[in-house]
Structure 1
Amino acid sequence: MKYSVEVTIEKPRNEVIKKLDNVDNMKHWQKGLASSEHISGTPGEVGAKMRLNYKMGKRNLTLIETITKRNLPNEFNGTYTAKGMHNIQENYFEETSEGNTKWISNCEFQPSSFMMKVMVFLMPGAFKKQSKQYMIDFKNFVEKGVSVAEEK
């Protein structure tokens, strides 16, 4: 399943990229992120791997991020692998004529388990909705300093 989502962030691209490129900021715009752990490679560079642990209600989800392309401030791509699912993301950042940043994310979900194939077939909108929500949460974090991190 492939789809694209986009959002315009009312901040200059260099400011957007600075916030996006800081792993400590992920908890502020990725709801449910419990922890992140560098696994291999040079952090933030092509080939680097990071384990991302999410708590979503009573479910725990672990993703392995692998950076596949880093051409900032224009492009950042990666793969995200979890049990039963492989996600390819291509992210593009464009400067608008107003001095804002347009973020375009092309996503491809490749289910590898029967259950995930069923979910992709029955609920394709849920995947797109989740991707868009992360983008909106990032926009709110960059523009207004709003964090989705839960108080501990």
Structure 2
Amino acid sequence: MKYQQEITIALPRNEVVEKFSNPDNMKHWQEGFIFMKPINGEPGANGSQNLLKYKMGKREIEMTETILKNNLPLEFASTYEAKGVYNFQRNRFLETPEDHTQWISENEFRFKGFLKVIGFLMPGAFKKQSKKYMEDFKAFAEDGKSVLDD
């Protein structure tokens, strides 16, 4: 399953990228985020890996992030692998004439086992979650609104 989503953030690109690339900010815009721990390589560098942990409903999910391309402020591409799920994500940050930032996120999901059924029956759930992260990031970046305040 592949899809692309976009959002415009009313801030200059350098401010958006600074907030996006700071792991300490993830808890403010990724609901359920518990922690990120470097496990391989120089944090943020191409080829480096992080262990990410999230609480989703009553379950905790661990995934491995592998950074494929960190060419910020232009682009950040990575993979996320968890049990039964592989996600490739490419994020691009474009400057608009108004000195705002257009964030374009391209996603590709692949599923194994039982999750193939979930991915087939509920593709909208993955798109909805991606859009929610983007909207929550916009609220955090522009207004300082944190998902922790809810």
* Number of the residue aligned with 2:26: 26
* Number of the residue aligned with 1:49: 49
For 1:90-133, what per-residue CA distance to the aligned partner results, in whole angstroms no more than 9, with x for missing partners?
111000010000000000001022x1100111000000000000
Q: Distance in 2 between matches of 1:48 and 1:147?
A: 27
- Does the aligned pair in 2 maintain the 1:32–1:149 contact within 8 Å? no
Structure 2 counterparts to residues 20-99 of structure 1, below 5 A: 20-99=20-99
- Does the aligned pair in 2 maintain the 1:69–1:75 contact within 8 Å? yes
AA of the residue aligned to 1:25: N
Alpha-carbon deviation of 1:33? Answer: 0.5
For 1:48-79, what per-residue CA distance to the aligned partner results, in whole angstroms no more than 9, with x for missing partners?
11111001121111111000001111100000
AA of the residue aligned to 1:130: Q
**Secondary structure, in 3 states, of the residue corresponding to 2:31?**
coil
* Number of the residue aligned with 1:134: 133
* Number of the residue aligned with 2:144: 145
AA of the residue aligned to 1:11: L
What is the TM-score when the length of structure 2 is the normalising length? 0.97
Aligned-pair identity (%): 56
Q: Return structure 1 stretches of 4+ with deviation > 4 angstroms.
A: none
In the alignment, structure 2 segments of 5+ residues that lack a partner are: none
Aligned residue pairs, count: 150
Alpha-carbon deviation of 1:150? Answer: 6.1
In the alignment, structure 1 segments of 5+ residues that lack a partner are: none
* Number of the residue aligned with 1:125: 124
What is the TM-score when the length of structure 1 is the normalising length? 0.96
